[in-house]
Amino acid sequence: MKAVRAVVDYLKDNGVEYIFGIPAGSVNAFFDELYETPEITPIVTKHEGAAAYMAAAYAKYAGQLGVCIASSGPGGTNLVTGAANAMREHLPMLFITGAVPVNTVGLNASQELDAEPLFRSVTKYSVTITDAKDLLPEFVKATELALSGIPGPVHIAMPIDIQLQEMENVDIPEFIVREPIVPDHDTLKTAAKELVNRKDGYIFVGQGIRNSVELVLEVAEMLEWPIITTPQAKGYIQDNHPLVAGVFGFAGHDEASVLINEGDGQALLVIGSSLGETATNNWNENLTKNRFTVQMDYDQSVFHRKYGIDIPVLGDVNLSLQALIVELKALGLSRRSMPTAKKQNEIENLEEYNTKNVLTQIQKFAPASTRYTIDIGEFMAYVVHHMNVLDTDTFNINVHFGAMGSGIGSAIGSKLAEPERPVICITGDGSFFMHGMEILTAKEQQLPIVFVIMNNARLGMVYHGHSLQYKRSHPSFAQEPINISAMAAAMQIPSVRVESMEDLSQDVIESLMAAKGPSILEIVLVDETIPPMGDRVKFLSSFGK
């Protein structure tokens, strides 16, 4: 058998269903083996970067290894951004790149690139295979690293000649099962006592709570402390829970900001947040000031980065919360019955045609279980600030790494991972012109995703950011308006072009969501209102003073 056949069998036998990427000469041997492997569907994308975002969302929502593949040279460099994104998100991903034959290295071969060091800084492991007997063992080693400990991306470069070498049949091992990181019992016992001894406090949650929402709610209801979320964690806890105080950080809410900046809470329990810039309103010192701080995370590197932490709790979040609940019960606390769910935020003056009203109306007409994959643009601030969390795990907001166009690929990966869940991607014309052709990928896979494109013929976030910081904006940030619905028609993709609030109705949303494949809702709107970016406005306005 060819060496590359063993790799394909290894992925197939371990349940890999999709491989995202683009075929090319240096990986054609891999794709050729897929003819004989109906268990794996290649998702051929329009750009390798988008393939990485799709594989990332698939890994996140399917709970499996995400796999993407690209050629040597430019295909590999196009994947690097996706690898950096996956590293930031702690997603288990396998990045495969082709490479020129071993005996042509250094001879200026077509698409020659030493990809190994490029990926090394944005992956847990990066290697180039130089002997066929090492190909499968290195794939096994890499996937074990991707799936174990703190999950993350890995990279393997496989030269053409290595893939094609014949080898004897080999045993195909199984993927490892990740061993949980168990928190220290004494540390949690001490943490519980310290938290109970404080009069009041706040629970500050990041995206690390994704699989532990019910446990977070149980702790909150035992302590009766408000829950404050980061922008990345929006979508996990429904807004109508009486203890939810809203979002702190980028585009956050006044209630959460007042608690952090003016509240008398004596303790802060941080769960699953690395306390980065967007989560903390540019590292606001009031977050932990005069507060006894406990931080729970499975990544030891997040402790004491910017803030002093009194008790760091290292361990899987769900295990740490389970143990904390046991200790709180031992101290006499029990889960309290909560009052009637509070009313969702409602927007007044829905007649005005603006970004806030458009987004809230779309949500009003879409199913409550809809997952929104949010791209990077000025609309993102409106999503964080104004859209309600009606069901769990309903927002994918990648403000951490902030790659434009990532929301488009994320929508496709999410839909493949959970086909029954409605998906709406909210993107802008700037992001669309980067990765918008992936709508064709969605069409080829017959994925019913609604792509809402906020078309203002400019880079809106850049425009507002420069206007705040420099009191002017360069004319190059704008562009000639493009009719995206006309583009959709050329691609034979259903679309609706909205130019007023009257154009946006329940029938419009329902008809687009009922399509057999992707559809486009083009929102033609130039909104001069400063987006609700919270303290980010003050941060940008302060530069140069």
- For residues 282 and 387, state if they share a domain: no
Looking at the domain assignment, is residue 347 inside a domain?
no
Looking at the domain assignment, is residue 337 inside a domain?
no
Strand partners, 157: 97, 128
Query: Tell me, what's the pLDDT at 169?
Result: 81
Arithmetic mean of pLDDT, 365-373: 97
What CATH number does the domain containing 271 carry?
Answer: 3.40.50.1220
Query: Tell me, what's the pLDDT at 95?
Result: 98
Confidence label for 460 from pLDDT (cuts 50, 70 and 90): low
Cα–chain center distance at 294: 25
Tokens (6 digits) for 101: 């034959």
Looking at the domain assignment, is residue 304 inside a domain?
yes
How many domains does one find in the chain? 3
State the sign of the Cα–Cα–Cα–Cα dihedral 260, 261, 263, 268.
Answer: positive
Looking at the domain assignment, is residue 342 inside a domain?
no
Residues 372 and 536: their CA atoms lie apart, in Å, by 23
Query: Tell me, what's the pLDDT at 330?
Result: 97
- For residues 214 and 119, state if they share a domain: no
Confidence label for 105 from pLDDT (cuts 50, 70 and 90): confident
Looking at the domain assignment, is residue 532 inside a domain?
yes
- Per mean pLDDT, which range of 228-237, 260-269, 345-354 is the poorest? 345-354
- For residues 430 and 306, state if they share a domain: no
Strands (E), 398-538: 423-428, 449-455, 495-498, 519-524
Confidence label for 351 from pLDDT (cuts 50, 70 and 90): confident
In which order are the strands placed within the sheet that holds 66-70? Answer: 41-44, 18-21, 66-70, 93-99, 153-159, 125-128
Residues 501 and 204: their CA atoms lie apart, in Å, by 37
Judged against a pLDDT cut of 70, whether residue 382 lies above it is answered with yes
Query: Would strands 267-271 and 371-374 be described as parallel, antiparallel, or unpaired?
Result: unpaired
- For residues 233 and 296, state if they share a domain: yes
Last residue of one domain, picked from the residues 164, 195, 213: 164
Query: Tell me, what's the pLDDT at 204?
Result: 98
11 closest CA partner among 73, 55, 71, 53: 55
- Tens digit of pLDDT for each residue in 479-508? 788 999 999 999 999 999 999 999 999 999
**Run of H or E residues at 297:** strand 292-297
**Helices 506-513 + 355-365 axis angle, to 10:** 60
Judged against a pLDDT cut of 70, whether residue 347 lies above it is answered with no
- For residues 144 and 242, state if they share a domain: no
Helix (H, G, I), strand (E, B) or coil at 495: strand
Looking at the domain assignment, is residue 175 inside a domain?
no
- For residues 143 and 238, state if they share a domain: no
The overall average pLDDT reported for the chain is 92
The backbone torsions φ and ψ at residue 167, rounded to the nearest 5 degrees and listed phi first, read: -150, 160
- For residues 381 and 322, state if they share a domain: no
- Tens digit of pLDDT for each residue in 157-185? 999 999 999 988 888 999 999 999 999 99
Looking at the domain assignment, is residue 174 inside a domain?
no
The backbone torsions φ and ψ at residue 171, rounded to the nearest 5 degrees and listed phi first, read: -75, 135
Side-chain-side CA neighbours of residue 241 (13 Å): 26
- For residues 459 and 320, state if they share a domain: no
Q: Which residue has the higher pLDDT, 447 or 378?
A: 447
Judged against a pLDDT cut of 70, whether residue 463 lies above it is answered with no
Check: CB of residue 407 under 8 Å from CB of residue 427: yes
Arithmetic mean of pLDDT, 89-117: 87
pTM here?
0.94
> Distance of CA 93 to CAs 68, 122, 238, 435, Å?
8, 12, 29, 21
- For residues 108 and 192, state if they share a domain: no
Segments forming the whole domain that contains residue 490: 355-542
Query: Tell me, what's the pLDDT at 104?
Result: 76
Helix (H, G, I), strand (E, B) or coil at 195: helix
Judged against a pLDDT cut of 80, whether residue 478 lies above it is answered with no
Looking at the domain assignment, is residue 348 inside a domain?
no
- For residues 365 and 502, state if they share a domain: yes
Judged against a pLDDT cut of 80, whether residue 467 lies above it is answered with no
Confidence label for 539 from pLDDT (cuts 50, 70 and 90): low
Arithmetic mean of pLDDT, 53-79: 97
Confidence label for 337 from pLDDT (cuts 50, 70 and 90): confident
CB atoms within 10 A of CB 175: 19
Check: CB of residue 21 under 8 Å from CB of residue 52: no
Judged against a pLDDT cut of 60, whether residue 537 lies above it is answered with no
Check: CB of residue 7 under 8 Å from CB of residue 30: yes
Query: Tell me, what's the pLDDT at 147?
Result: 98
- Tens digit of pLDDT for each residue in 8-60? 999 999 999 999 999 998 999 999 999 999 999 999 999 999 999 999 999 99
- For residues 155 and 49, state if they share a domain: yes
Confidence label for 534 from pLDDT (cuts 50, 70 and 90): low
What CATH number does the domain containing 501 carry?
Answer: 3.40.50.970
Last residue of one domain, picked from the residues 164, 195, 211: 164
- For residues 301 and 413, state if they share a domain: no
